[in-house]
Amino acid sequence: MTTSHKSSGRLEHLLRSGRFVVTAETTPPLTADAYQVVDRVAPLKGLVDAVNVTDGAGARAHLSSLAAATRMLQAGIEPVLQFTTRDRNTLALEREVLGAAAFNIPNMLVIGGDPIERGDAPEATAINDLDSKGLVGLATLMRDQARLPSGREITPPPRLFVGVADTPVDPPAGWRPHGLSAKIEAGADFVQTQFCFDIGICRRYAAALADLGITRRVFVLMGIGPLASARQATWIRDNLPGSIVPDAVIRRLEGAADPKAEGRAICAELMQALRATPGVAGVHLMGPRAENDIARAITAAGIPEG
């Protein structure tokens, strides 16, 4: 894996140094006050290496992700700014990549976005000029070649560490991650996965990626989180495509006297196991309004600060 740095961010620096990293996720609220986001993620400061700021999650409006990420950076919390390809045409995406870099946001994560019809404005129009691979290619072209696809020169070019999402699987014989490979060929630097609460599948997935040489080209962060209840775990399994929640985890939550505490314990155990898993560079912790529980799970796992 190349040692040249694409950004000035802490997340990239730590990953390239070989340290196991922890990222988390927050969704901006429906507000015009960006400081509400800073308050929401405050429990994570000093415990995580970066916080993803979602972009139109659930196909619903909220405070601008760029505004939220900028306020977080000013408060000393490194953001990973998510970009959905659903809502913007190519011209808008080019401007927003430059805007993120202009505010010194060091990281971006490219995703397609949830279907419009799932949100509260189903009459809206999905744009999708580019898919996620296309936006990765655009952002890395702007960064590495200092130009737009039209040939216009960018002075200075953006400095961004570019991530993509992936869905972990229990790889069968002969498995090839064609979608992920295409995004890596387009220039992706790191990967954050959908939820996987099965450590066996996590290990087999990471081993398969390593065997294919993928973990030498990108950093892989496995997606987990502090489940709040068996009901939530079941909903995630049934409604978030690609999420892996074993029946054993659901039964454990069902039998717990304090399901939230049990969910944090499960998350902490998975963090410890994943830290010892070859090919896994870190974890990405997710959950709705789960910032406090994420912080408590990290502390329980004994993941070192700094």
* Domain spans of the chain, in order of start: 10-225+277-289
11: amino acid identity, one letter: L
- Pairwise CA distance, residues 285 & 61, whole Å: 22
Six-digit token pair at 87? 């809502």
pTM of the model: 0.96
Q: What is the dihedral of CA 61, 64, 68, 71, to 10 degrees?
A: -150
CB atoms within 10 A of CB 156: 7
DSSP state of 59: G
Indicate the fold that domain 10-225+277-289 takes in CATH: TIM Barrel (3.20.20)
Distance CA 258, CA 227 (A): 11
Q: What share of the chain is helix, strand, coil (3-state, %, to 5)?
A: 45, 15, 40
Instruction: Kindly give the confidence (pLDDT) of every residue in the chain, 306 residues in length, as a single tens digit, with 9 standing for 90 and above.
Output: 666 899 999 999 999 999 999 999 999 999 999 999 999 999 999 999 999 999 988 888 899 999 999 999 999 999 999 999 999 999 999 999 999 999 999 999 999 987 878 878 888 888 989 999 999 999 999 999 999 999 999 999 999 999 999 999 999 999 999 999 999 999 999 999 999 999 999 999 999 999 999 999 999 999 999 999 999 999 999 999 999 999 999 999 999 999 999 999 999 999 999 999 999 999 999 999 999 999 999 999 998 654
